[in-house]
Amino acid sequence: MWKSKCIPRVKFFTWLLLVDRLNTTSMLVRRNFHVQPNVFCVMCNFATQEDFDQLFFTCPFASTCWNKLGIQWPNLPDVCERLLIARQTHLFPFFMEIFIIASWKLWNLINAKNFDNARPSVHQWLQNFKQQVHLQLLRVREIDRPPIVQWIDTIM
């Protein structure tokens, strides 16, 4: 993760995600914050507790986003193990960057819905994801850019 070509704040966000320190509703409850009105996932209509696993992997909204990228997550309790298996399954040399940017853009939409009453859509997430990938390409060596651009152009 730290060797990825993403900007430092996005890497830091990913580190928080991997060590389960993001301020999800369940994390705030564990820290004794009073959460209004409930601790359920804001991205789906199910009464499922909002934690990092729900928000980024098992929520139908997140699953649909990952499916757009062709990524299927194994059902494992440890997120690092889940990442290792998915990385071995998807042989992209830039898999970690995809995970980091996709997760970051999911988090941005979750926060927009929580704080700005936004109505996020998978299409909006995909457009934001593609835009962020193109921005991050400036940090990638010229020789490594074509496969990423080719891959990103195939996503609908």
Of 117, 144, 111, the closest CA to residue 22 belongs to 111
Structure tokens at 10: 């996005």
d(CA 52, CA 32): 17
For residues 155 and 69, the answer to whether their CB atoms sit within 8 Å is yes
Q: What pLDDT is stored for residue 35 in this prediction? A: 67
pLDDT, tens digit (0-9, with 9 covering 90-100), for 103-136: 999 999 998 988 888 899 999 999 999 999 999 9
For residues 79 and 53, the answer to whether their CB atoms sit within 8 Å is yes
Write down the mean pLDDT value for the chain. Answer: 88
For residues 72 and 63, the answer to whether their CB atoms sit within 8 Å is no
Q: What pLDDT is stored for residue 36 in this prediction? A: 64
Of 155, 144, 146, 150, the closest CA to residue 105 belongs to 155
Q: What pLDDT is stored for residue 60 in this prediction? A: 92
CA distances from 24 to 46, 56, 65 (A): 16, 11, 19
Is the model's pLDDT at 21 over the cut of 80? yes
Q: What pLDDT is stored for residue 14 in this prediction? A: 93
Tokens 């004794």 found at: 32
Helix (H) or strand (E) holding 84: helix 79-89
Is the model's pLDDT at 1 over the cut of 70? yes
Structure tokens at 73: 């997550």
pLDDT, tens digit (0-9, with 9 covering 90-100), for 50-91: 788 888 998 999 999 999 999 989 888 888 899 999 988 887
Of 140, 142, 133, 3, the closest CA to residue 68 belongs to 133
pTM, two decimals, is: 0.88
Task: Show me where the domains of the chain are located.
Answer: 8-154
Q: What pLDDT is stored for residue 50 in this prediction? A: 78
